[in-house]
Amino acid sequence: MTEFDPFSTDMTRHWCPKSQYYATGDALLTYINNGWSIQQEACFEEFWHGGSRRVVVYYVNLVRDDQHITMPVIDNPVVGQLIARFCPQLRPQISPRPRARQPQWLRSSFN
């Protein structure tokens, strides 16, 4: 029986910032396997849905030769391990946009 290694992949995933807002861990691994290196500093942003479901997006800075790209990656266990391994300097993202809230309706408007 072979051991599962989440950091090696035989599958390549394409990601383009013009057509996809967020990348997956597979796309991040594809960039790493194609010669991109992760900068040591990354940012993260938390989104809360329904008050109890948290989604974390990591903004990973990648460099290859003279090219730079920031890849927003949705968190999952493998992405969390990659971030822990390659990005020791993790800081919260300061978002210029206001946080969206669901509208709060007054009880009297339903009567």
* Structure-block tokens of residue 15: 């990601």
pLDDT band at 48 (very low <50, low <70, confident <90, very high): confident
Higher-pLDDT residue of 56 and 2 is: 56
pLDDT at 66: 92
Q: Is residue 109 part of a domain?
A: no
Total domains, the chain:
1
pLDDT tens-digit map of 51-103: 778 889 999 999 999 999 999 999 999 899 888 888 888 888 766 555 555 44
Question: What CATH number corresponds to the domain at position 21?
Answer: 3.30.720
pLDDT tens-digit map of 17-33: 888 899 998 899 999 98
Higher-pLDDT residue of 69 and 5 is: 69
| HSE-up (13 A, CA, CB side) for residue 25 | 14
Residues 56 and 44: beta-carbon distance below 8 Å: yes
Range of the domain at 73: 10-92
* Structure-block tokens of residue 58: 């990591």
Q: Is residue 33 part of a domain?
A: yes
Q: Is residue 110 part of a domain?
A: no
∠ at Cα 71 (68, 73), nearest 5°?
160
Q: Is residue 67 part of a domain?
A: yes
Q: Is residue 106 part of a domain?
A: no
What is the Rg, in whole angstroms, of the alpha carbon atoms belonging to the chain?
Answer: 18
Q: Is residue 46 part of a domain?
A: yes
Segment of 10-24, 36-50, 91-105 carrying the highest mean pLDDT? 36-50
